[in-house]
Structure 1
């Protein structure tokens, strides 16, 4: 991870961006990248992890296969269940992932995955205020849909 971080920071710097390393661990780095001309800032997170599928080519270079992204989003929902995790998994369902497929991907990624624990985590959607969802740019209709989606899924489990 240190070599990858060093390379990314160098490439961004060579292209005129300023980069601050906000957090760094053996398998994780959070960068704040700033464009000195526009003042725009973007957070970039790098995570080293085992992938089940080969990366997919994109115009920016290799990116994670969508199933690996989905598995990671499910792992986040299963382990921490923050408001943004509910938003992310809701987006996966809206993009066509079934609940069963998401559970399967989560189980492949985490040998300790348990549906009953997932049901407990899904109940956590109720602990967030609407504002805690709205700060991520979703509208009230979507917030209501997220609440209904995860309560229904919890009951199904």
Structure 2
């Protein structure tokens, strides 16, 4: 797990040792690393729970208390009933921690060395939704690797299970926004920026063709 930093690993251990973490699942880039689906470094930790399953405020308070006991500093960046973002400073690092209420898992969850998480294919679908919603540079890199592993249709099917508003034509449009990033901004791994651009350009055309 060398892709994750010492503070990330210690925070994961700390969080899942808390009673208030019950019901939360590791999501995002760290979950991809934990399941060996990608090797891309991530700057934050995401913990998601389904509605009625866990409490964001209770988990937030527990994290703050546990971090303080370690001599770490915690600041609240965003703080609401269903979403909280914390900035954790410790071990000569700074880390963002997101606690959120999100859509319930569609498939059985799994255990990883770093804590409970979503099933691999569902995690791939959730990353596809991230591309559909925001299309950040890291989303393109992750979705490419996941599509190569599971196949494009699996990612599309799992995304549709998670978000009833998922639309392949809109996804194609989001894929075309890749041009707003420079090559240096793309965290590519095992593929050149040019190849990544070609990959999504071809996929976008394929999606538009299937939509008529």
TM-score bracket for this pair, using the shorter chain length: 0.7 to 0.9
Which one has more relative contact order, counting CA pairs under 8 Å at least 6 apart? Answer: 2
Taking the TM superposition and a 5 Å limit, the aligned residue runs for 1:71-90 are 71-90=125-144
Q: 1:30 aligns with which of 60, 85, 90?
A: 85
The residue aligned with 2:165 is 112
Question: Which sits farther off after the overlay, 61-70 or 39-48?
Answer: 61-70
Q: 2:96 aligns with which of 43, 67, 83?
A: 43
Q: CA deviation at 1:2?
A: 0.9
C-alpha distance in structure 1 between counterparts of 2:108 and 2:84, whole Å: 22
Q: Does the 8 Å contact 1:75/1:110 carry over to 2?
A: yes
The residue aligned with 1:144 is 194
Could you state the TM-score of these two structures normalised by the residue count of structure 1? 0.82
The 1:64–1:17 alpha-carbon spacing in structure 2 relative to 1, beyond 3 Å, is: farther
Q: Does the 8 Å contact 1:130/1:143 carry over to 2?
A: yes
Higher strand share: 2
Q: Identify unmatched segments of 5+ residues in structure 2.
A: 1-55, 208-212
The residue aligned with 2:61 is 6
Q: Does 1:70 align with 2:120?
A: no
Aligned-pair Cα RMSD in Å: 2.1
C-alpha distance in structure 2 between counterparts of 1:58 and 1:153, whole Å: 31
Q: Identify unmatched segments of 5+ residues in structure 1.
A: none
Q: Does the 8 Å contact 1:18/1:34 carry over to 2?
A: yes
C-alpha distance in structure 1 between counterparts of 2:80 and 2:59, whole Å: 13
The residue aligned with 1:101 is 154
Q: CA deviation at 1:140?
A: 9.6
Question: Which sits farther off after the overlay, 26-35 or 145-154?
Answer: 26-35
Q: Does the 8 Å contact 1:130/1:140 carry over to 2?
A: no
C-alpha distance in structure 2 between counterparts of 1:56 and 1:13, whole Å: 30
Indicate the SS of the match to 2:84.
Answer: strand
Count residues in correspondence: 151
Could you state the TM-score of these two structures normalised by the residue count of structure 2? 0.63
C-alpha distance in structure 2 between counterparts of 1:70 and 1:45, whole Å: 19
C-alpha distance in structure 1 between counterparts of 2:97 and 2:196, whole Å: 26
Indicate the SS of the match to 1:108.
Answer: helix
C-alpha distance in structure 1 between counterparts of 2:80 and 2:155, whole Å: 28
